[in-house]
């Protein structure tokens, strides 16, 4: 479960704050459902909205999704790395118009979101 939260942290680090382009923000999406989604306004240096996905190499059955603002130099790239020995692959697809990276999400209560996170980490064991 530690690896799950670290992957969420890594993906969330790419989400920027505030001022020009409006993007859909989704710090964490699992099984097609965005948890804690909202609309944000990107800062002046951020030129793109993105959709990202990450998959742990050992548990390829679960894919985590994220959305937000991103510098265009990461657009279309695939990154690989390790978090505490667990390999992951993350990819980012970008667009440059307001809210182009997705529709509004389903908002889930915190308890349901936490249960989904725990269950998905247990399935990966």
**What is the domain partition of the chain in residue ranges?**
2-123
What is the CATH code of the structural domain delimited by 2-123? Answer: 2.10.60.10
- Report whether 65 contacts 34 (CB < 8 A): yes
pLDDT tens-digit map of 90-115: 999 999 999 999 864 444 444 555 54
CA distances from 74 to 12, 20, 49, 93, 122 (A): 14, 19, 11, 9, 31
Q: Residue 44's pLDDT band (boundaries 50, 70, 90)?
A: confident
pLDDT tens-digit map of 14-38: 433 334 799 999 988 887 788 888 9
């Amino acid at each position: 479960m530690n690896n799950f939260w670290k992957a969420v942290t890594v993906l969330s680090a790419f989400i920027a704050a505030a001022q020009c382009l409006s993007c859909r923000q989704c710090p964490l999406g699992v099984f097609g459902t965005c948890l804690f989604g909202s609309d944000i306004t990107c800062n002046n240096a951020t030129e793109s909205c993105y959709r990202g996905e990450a998959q742990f190499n050992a548990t390829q059955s679960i894919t985590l999704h994220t959305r937000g603002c991103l510098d265009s130099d990461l657009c279309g790239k695939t990154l690989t790395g390790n978090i505490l020995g667990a390999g992951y692959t993350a990819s980012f697809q970008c667009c440059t118009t307001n809210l182009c990276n997705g529709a509004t999400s389903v908002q889930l209560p915190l308890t349901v979101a936490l249960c989904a996170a725990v269950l998905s980490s247990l399935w990966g064991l």
